Structure formats: C-alpha cells, structure tokens
C-alpha cells in the first residue's frame, strides 16, 4: 500500500474527504517525527510503539573492493507492533 492508497483508506473508514485525510496523515507523520526528535517513544495502544534505537560505531567491509571502512554511530527508528495489530496478522 502506498501513501495515496492509505489516504483513500483513511477517507473511506473515517468519512473524511481525501484532502482532509491527507492532512490528517501528514499531521500524524509530523507528530511522530516530533516525538522521536525529542527522544520520546510514540506509543499507540493496540497498534504499536515507535522508538529511537542507537547503533554504535563499527568497522564494515566495502563489498566491491574488500576495503575495511569505518561506519559512524547513528540513530534509527524502531517499531514494535502492538497486540491488536499482531492479531490481525
């Protein structure tokens, strides 16, 4: 499912127009970004939890040349599905 299909689904299930559904989806995405920027978890009971994960610096290998390279530490987004979402699957 891509973004436009998701907007259509939101409109169908919520009774909103597609334009309002797109605004709602954009608002949700921005809200999650703000929460994660502040190093907070974003928890939606029954759906899941978005959180920030830490990756430590490490040594990798360039597959093309075989040369060892240093990979810097970074942050990543993690998602853990909630119980109700797992039931659907």
pLDDT in tens, 31-84: 999 999 988 899 999 999 999 999 999 999 999 999 999 999 999 999 999 999
* Paired sense of beta strands 58-61 and 74-81, if any: unpaired
CATH number for the domain including 75?
A: 4.10.520.10
The β-bridge partners of 77 are 52
The pLDDT of residue 74: 95
Domain count, the chain: 1
Asked if 62 contacts 43 with a C-beta cutoff of 8 angstroms, the reply is no
What is the value of pTM for the model shown? 0.76
What residues make up the domain containing 54? 3-88
Measured between alpha carbons, how far is 7 from 63 in angstroms, rounded to an integer?
40
DSSP, res 15? -
């Amino acid at each position: 499912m891509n973004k436009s299909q998701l907007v259509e689904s939101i409109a169908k299930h919520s009774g909103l127009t597609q334009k309002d559904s797109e605004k709602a989806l954009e608002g949700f995405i921005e809200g999650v970004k703000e929460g994660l920027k502040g190093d907070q978890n974003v928890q939606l009971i029954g759906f899941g939890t978005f959180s920030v994960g830490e990756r430590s610096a490490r040594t990798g290998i360039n597959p093309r040349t075989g040369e060892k390279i240093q990979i810097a530490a970074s942050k990543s987004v993690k998602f853990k599905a909630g119980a109700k979402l797992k039931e659907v699957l």
